[in-house]
Amino acid sequence: MIHLYIHGRDKQKQFLGTPLFGEESVPKPDSSGPLPSGEGIAGVSLNSVREALQDPKALVWMDFDKPTEDEFRLFSDFFNFHPLAVEDCANVRHHPKIDDYTDYLFMILHAPDLKNETEQIRTCELDIFIGKNFVVTHHVKPISSVKIMQERCSKSPDLWMRKGADFFLYALLDHLMETYEPLVEDLGEEISWAEEEVFFNPDDKFLKAIFDIKKDVFYIRSLMSRQRDTISILSKERFAHISEKARLYFRDTCDVLIRFMDTINVYHERLNSTVETYLIFDNNRLNQVMKGLTVIASVMLPLTVITGIYGMNFRFMPEIQWEYGYFVVLGGMLLTATGTILFMRHKKWL
């Protein structure tokens, strides 16, 4: 599916001034040649889109939402994007990055996958092409920040598209970063739960839960770091399609990512402390067990000596022939055990 928005300042041209929302897919083109000029998106001919792209005062935003093969061909047949960039769009397993193709920039970022069926954090890739007066986005899963921009461009196109492609990109990235905030907050709540649960006899399942949270923290921290470096390039280096004013705004986006990274780093330290606390409690439980076994062994040791002596098969042992010998030995063993326990309590070993 393709969503199309065209906005401009020249009111004399029919395709300018109104956002066009495309819900229909592009008709299947003739594979033997280029796309016919009459085919278009949501009732807008490709000739009209070409005309808008040639107008320096216009802004075209085309969002490819899980495109079909025929729709995907527009990247090469209509926009003439570099084959390497098109290949990156086809293989949605890339780290965040930015490439400069002179006529346009190509960016790869990641957005939270809110419809992830697993319990672990997952993200989906968002590919962005930005030129002088166009922005093309591509993704294979729904992205809430893109949906928000579609709704806002439908309601207030002049507010969100009149400043050009670079400011539109900033608005899109700003919404994209905002979608990470509830994710980071959820991680904080999980860590708070772990910090409380560690004091209430945690078991092996608890330890597994801790390491699952650590995996999420490592993943999101690594991702945030790469996205910060990518967006930082926009704020520091000079590109033909990024104005000096827009660069200042991208610094603000970097500040948001830095704030998230600081929070994630704190989470990482808290998790390490929780694991250390768990190990301390686990070692303490083990020490208590060993302490009990040591007490038993200490009590049984002198008793074993006594039974060993009287268990020897010598022929002449006076106590064996004594009428009360058996009871005296048992009493002596009882006194020895009692004395050993009282001695340990006196030394505060028990």
Longest dimension (CA), the chain: 128
Residues 6+ away with beta carbon under 8 Å from 165: 59, 130, 131, 132, 133, 134, 135, 241
Question: How many of the other CB atoms lie within 10 Å of CB of 205?
Answer: 8
Tell me, what's the pLDDT at 239?
Answer: 80
Architecture of domain 288-346: Up-down Bundle (1.20)
Stated pTM of the model: 0.70
Model pLDDT for residues 176-186, shown as the tens digit of each residue = 888 888 888 88
Mean pLDDT rounded to a whole number for the chain = 78
Domain with CATH 1.20.58 in the chain: 288-346
Is 71 in contact with 50 (CB distance < 8 Å)?
no
Helices (H), 163-243: 165-178, 180-197, 204-236
Domain with CATH 3.30.460.20 in the chain: 1-157
From 6-15, 201-210, 262-271, the region with the lowest mean pLDDT: 6-15
Closest CA to 27 of 47, 7, 41: 41
Model pLDDT for residues 315-347, shown as the tens digit of each residue = 777 777 777 777 777 888 888 888 888 887 777
Residues 6+ away with beta carbon under 8 Å from 334: none
Architecture of domain 1-157: 2-Layer Sandwich (3.30)
Q: How does DSSP classify residue 28?
A: P
